[in-house]
Structure 1
């Protein structure tokens, strides 16, 4: 993920998931001239503030996704699927496949498995199959096949079961500041009374940075079949 001109597609179950968990890396990547795209399979509108209407909050969430992506010079996509009702269907796998074929990402970031949140775990399953479909040339869709060679799972407090940091990606103060400013466009990040999202992820970025001997860092897991270290000798 150190290349400057690659494209990253970050796929979350809700608007804000990838912006929080991988936002520092996305900001760093954009500052280096790369391209970022966020895809939310639902808007996450049922986390609506008290006294607000769900439909209106969904529109707000879509605007927030766009505001974050705009600040990083990227693109935001939000599927029109009700929050909490995401299903691992063939239709959904193909929809994500089509996005992958259009965006042609070098890197995909999504949720780790074993989540306490249904939509996160379902997203994890959808993305794995969609990535396979996107690379399958005999599967004829509107756009030609494309293989996203790198798949990473972001660190999320809601996806913590069995998660063990495998890759640390550091970023500097400029990227950190851009990320904090951009992710603060999301109401739930700064306004939620149920969990101090911004405080948690800001501190996590610093802790992971210390572990990596960097100013800030975010960590990622990889698919189990790719966990290997290759050496000619010890």
Structure 2
């Protein structure tokens, strides 16, 4: 079974982009670890304590036992050498076979910076003769999930069937009560997320799906996993 590391700029990014896939991979026996680069604060609603509680509740819904939060500043995530090393140390500790990170095109500067930062951190993870903690490690593949602010069509490398997981995915996202509520006018976003997943599912003749992009080619060992 594989070790999986999912990295989001903020709490809720992983759930929005690939909550169904996280559920599916966990059910298949893979170990999924979540890494939030920031605690999501400051935001118009909520407190650091509330956001942390919501993130842990969402992780429980997803069946994820470990969620790590780094102290990068929300709204000001930057691709710096120090931040690369910080993420690389997590990679060297978790030793994931696969990384799932943000897509590289986005209106949100944190998401764009997170993508660049994590791709660089993957490379830094294998460096020797360094002051970073842990033994060198290099994940096999990087996949980019869809949690973008642009109204943008991305060309997926593959679409994961999450027809059986969509309900629990939305339940995990709904744990972020400070962010998805009537007071903020954001409660309807849950339906929007469901509709987007329905669109991707329709492309593979399933009810719901989540798209992923890989900069590298993906090889198949056989046809058993195709839907």
| Aligned twin of 1:122 | 113
2:34 corresponds to 1:38 = yes
Q: How many residues align?
A: 217
Cα drift, residue 161 of structure 1: 5.1
2:52 corresponds to 1:62 = yes
2:160 corresponds to 1:169 = yes
2:139 corresponds to 1:148 = yes
Q: Deviations over 1:163-185 (max 9, x none)?
A: 32221111242x22222222211
Q: Deviations over 1:96-126 (max 9, x none)?
A: 0011111111211111112111111110110
**Which structure: greater helix fraction?**
1
Contact 2:107 / 2:148 at 8 angstroms: preserved in 1? no
2:127 corresponds to 1:136 = yes
Residues 161/209 of structure 1: CA separation in 2 closer, same or farther (3 Å cut): closer
Q: Is the partner of 1:45 in helix, strand or coil?
A: coil
Contact 2:160 / 2:211 at 8 angstroms: preserved in 1? yes
CA RMSD of aligned residues (A): 2.2
Residues 47/169 of structure 1: CA separation in 2 closer, same or farther (3 Å cut): same
Contact 1:21 / 1:201 at 8 angstroms: preserved in 2? no
1:63-212 maps to which residues of 2 (within 5 A)?
63-71=53-61, 72-139=63-130, 141-158=132-149, 163-173=154-164, 175-187=165-177, 188-191=179-182, 192-194=184-186, 196-212=188-204
1:7-18 maps to which residues of 2 (within 5 A)?
7-18=3-14
- Alignment TM-score, normalising by the size of structure 1: 0.84
Cα drift, residue 6 of structure 1: 1.6
| Aligned twin of 1:26 | 22
- Alignment TM-score, normalising by the size of structure 2: 0.86
Gaps of 5+ in 2: 221-227
- Please say which of residues 131-140 and 33-42 is displaced more in the overlay: 131-140
